[in-house]
Structure 1
Amino acid sequence: MLRALGHRNYRLFFAGQSVSLIGTWLTRVATAWLVYRLTGSALLLGVIGFCGQIPTFLLGPFAGVLVDRWDRHRLLVVTQVLAMLQSLALALLALSGHIAVWHVAALSIFQGLINAFDMPARQSFVVEMVDDRADLPNAIALNSSMFNGARLLGPSVAGALIAAVGEGGCFLIDAVSYLAVIASLLAMRIVPRERTHRQQHVLTELKEGVLHAFHFPPIRSLLGLIAMVSLMGMPLTTLMPVMASQVLHGGPNTLGFLMAASGLGALSGALFLASRRSVRGLGGVIFTTTLLFGAGLLAFSLSRYLALSLLAMVVAGFGMMVTTASSNTVLQTIVEERMRGRVMSFYAMAFMGTAPFGSLMAGVLATHLGAPWTLTLCGAMCLLSAAWFRRKLPVLREHVRPIYQRLGIIPEVATGLDVAAERAGPRES
């Protein structure tokens, strides 16, 4: 389960990022609580979420082209330094008592600009940190374990920290935590990538990336599913303060418990993926966990008891994490190296870029229908998305089979995304 940690650079990254991500989750909870405390508006919660994520949607494709051109290691150092400064600005404004919602919106846009480059660079950089490509799925699963371990720990203490030191104190802790990941990046020994293709105009390379991603059914279908899951799943995060305070009649501690429960489910999912030895059979896994995510959303929307809500959040967290990480693993496995940054930027667009529309949709629908009915609708849409993906699986297996055969993942019969076909009997290649 930990074989990717045998690579020195990845081990450094894992250690530094684990510390930094705890601070990131402190800021996420504190920001949501601050906005809701200042305004009491579900709509403004959606607007702030929109501001933080729309840059990824608008700049993602261009960022992917540049990530394929630039030194990813150096780019990550720059993005982490800028993110630290953003958290420090939030902390200074909050601690001085001068913070307003427009400050949060402006700094959220700034963080979104950083994320537009950071996310595809970080996803693409995993290949450079792990020397043995066979360990790539494990590294991606451990990334998810790290992210969701922080997601479990950060929100669980955020409620107590907000009560003790205020939102500004949480922002300051986050700013300091970035020093860990910056130090880990600077301590790495990176072999420069060999570039075998001549650079063309940015728009030409962008067009090439679009054609590669959206004309190949497995990539197109996985990106479509992630986009829908993110669009329908983001209202869960956006409306969490409303559900915690108005539906479950709690405070910041209740919000922290709910997010920690989601993190526990996600961490369990990440450990499940880390225990897998191959990418084979992930198609069936993606279908099942998308169903679980939709069911978790439905149960949470209907619950009026904290214990049941926490259980629903565990299920939803497990489903969301395994769906997104499994899709990431398949994409990273089948994509050409020269296209990796661009495809990962489309993944970032699907995962984070659609989220602002989900946040805005959550605010508008919750204002008219209420938070519970909004989440009920989102859960139902996730179930329909799972059914759509299940119908696509046979065709996706046919396209992925030769790639997996060439990589030696499936030396005899290939299923690509679903082991079930292999058990059904031999098929022509």
Structure 2
Amino acid sequence: MLRLLRDRRIAGLAAAGFLAEVGDWMLLIALPLHVLALTGSPLITATVFVLGLAPTVVAGPLAGVLIDRSEPWKIMAIVAGLQVLCLTPLLAVDDASDLWILYTVVVVESVLGTIIEPCRATTAAASVPANRLAEVNQLMGVLSSMARLLGSPLGGLILASGGFDAIVYANAGTFLAAAVVFSIGARTRRAAPIGTRPPGATSPWTDLVEGLGITARTPALRQVMAITAVIALAQGAFVLLFVLFVTRELRGTETDVGLLRGVQAIGALLGGVLLGLIIHRIPPRQLISGSLAVFGALSLAIWNLPALTTSMPLYIGLFILVGAPGVTLMTGMLTVLQTSCTPSARGRVLSTYFALYGAMQALGTLIAGFLGTGTGLTIGLQIQGTLYFAAALMALRLRTPPASPGVPLR
């Protein structure tokens, strides 16, 4: 896995992605705590997440068209720079009356993220032979886990010690560093668009419709999208229910919230190392279904344990375990998506995946906002854990494409 970093393209993508994701995790931990502190309302907190996810539904497919027709490094450099600028208005959010500023920033940052995330995944896939796609996905997953391991505790600590403004400055710094790395890549690589089609060959609308049609006609892609919808619904609920669970059921602090989200990365790192030993022996279908089953079992165990104990060391251990199936699940999902379409359509297919994920995650978060008070919290936690088992059963029927030959993709 680490030998992939000898490739300067992969190393650049990995470094920039790691820097940006550290900042993302700091903000992801701090934002719900900040909004909850300003408003005291789980529903308003959920609404903020929904506003951040909803734009991906529209922007996702359009971003895929842009990705398939453009030079990727230049796009990523520009987008990362815009992410820095668009964070600064958050410094003006002092009380609940300023939430409209926060809403606007969240929407804009969501649109920008909708462009850069599938662009990174598509560029990485186009940089390795077909038989090494799983390896590069594994590497990116491990680095994402490392970013979580660093960013999540930092988010809780910085919020507790320096306030929300300090989080904004730190997040802007990581985006700026990522923009610099992408800019270096844009200057040193005279790459063509990711896809094989000339940018002006067809209209953007035609490309958009074609990309959606490819996803709808391909059995493996249809199945992955259905599985994704269920997973995203569960994950959307988790984003809010987790914060409520830690602060109310475990009587935890802001630092505890960041710590428990962060330690999942330890399990993900261990899972990533283990996956490297067996990645060529397990079909993606089994990798996905097995990961989801473990996710469901651990989730339900965690949600129901407060009836017996609220010992924080025990929950730290359980959340470490939760991280392992996360990296294996994402590796399996991305590999199926990348191998089930042509390189010229990858940007649109991956963007459709992220758009669907965002839409269903928004729905899950909104539902959690309604359930997040009183006995509704307990019910919501049980439903959230059970959804992973439903997705695992769906994955058992996944019809994956045959193994790809070990030839370059472009």
- The two structures have a TM-score, normalised by structure 1, of 0.86
Instruction: Give the alignment partner of residue 163 of structure 2, picking from 159, 162, 166.
Output: 166
Give the match for residue 7 of structure 1. 7
Give the match for residue 86 of structure 2. 86
Instruction: Give the alignment partner of residue 220 of structure 1, picking from 219, 222, 227.
Output: 222
Structure 1 residue 102, shift from structure 2 partner? 2.5
Distance in 2 between the 1:64 and 1:86 partners?
22
Equivalent residue letter for 1:339? A
Q: Name which of structure 1's ranges 338-347 and 62-71 shifts more when overlaid on structure 2.
A: 62-71
Matched, 1:101 2:107: no
Instruction: Give the alignment partner of residue 183 of structure 1, picking from 177, 180, 185.
Output: 180
Give the match for residue 296 of structure 2. 294
Whether the aligned pair in 2 keeps the contact of 1:5 and 1:11 (CA below 8 Å) is yes
- The two structures have a TM-score, normalised by structure 2, of 0.90
Instruction: Give the alignment partner of residue 242 of structure 1, picking from 244, 265, 268.
Output: 244
Equivalent residue letter for 1:119? E
Equivalent residue letter for 1:211? G
Distance in 2 between the 1:256 and 1:203 partners?
42
Distance in 1 between the 2:358 and 2:140 partners?
17
Query: What RMSD over aligned residues (CA atoms) do the two structures have, in Å?
Result: 2.3
Structure 1 residue 110, shift from structure 2 partner? 1.0
Distance in 1 between the 2:34 and 2:67 partners?
34
Matched, 1:22 2:22: yes
Structure 1 residue 143, shift from structure 2 partner? 1.1
Whether the aligned pair in 1 keeps the contact of 2:138 and 2:327 (CA below 8 Å) is no
Distance in 2 between the 1:111 and 1:14 partners?
21
Structure 1 residues 168-317: aligned runs within 5 Å? 168-188=165-185, 189-193=188-192, 195-196=196-197, 199-276=201-278, 278=280, 281-304=283-306, 305=310, 306-317=312-323
Structure 1 residue 362, shift from structure 2 partner? 1.0
Equivalent residue letter for 1:374? G
1:306-339 CA-to-partner distances (Å, cap 9, x unmatched) read 3343333333332233212311022213320111
Instruction: Give the alignment partner of residue 120 of structure 2, picking from 111, 122, 129.
Output: 122
Structure 1 residue 80, shift from structure 2 partner? 0.5
Structure 1 residue 286, shift from structure 2 partner? 0.8
Structure 1 residue 98, shift from structure 2 partner? 8.9
Distance in 2 between the 1:173 and 1:319 partners?
29
Structure 1 residue 165, shift from structure 2 partner? 0.7
Distance in 2 between the 1:202 and 1:291 partners?
40
Structure 1 gaps of 5+ residues are 410-429
Give the match for residue 373 of structure 1. 379
SS at match of 2:191: coil
Equivalent residue letter for 1:239? L
Structure 1 residue 196, shift from structure 2 partner? 3.7
Distance in 1 between the 2:96 and 2:249 partners?
31
Give the match for residue 147 of structure 1. 144
SS at match of 1:303: helix
SS at match of 1:250: coil
Whether the aligned pair in 2 keeps the contact of 1:142 and 1:271 (CA below 8 Å) is no
Q: Percent identity of the aligned residues?
A: 24
Equivalent residue letter for 1:120? P
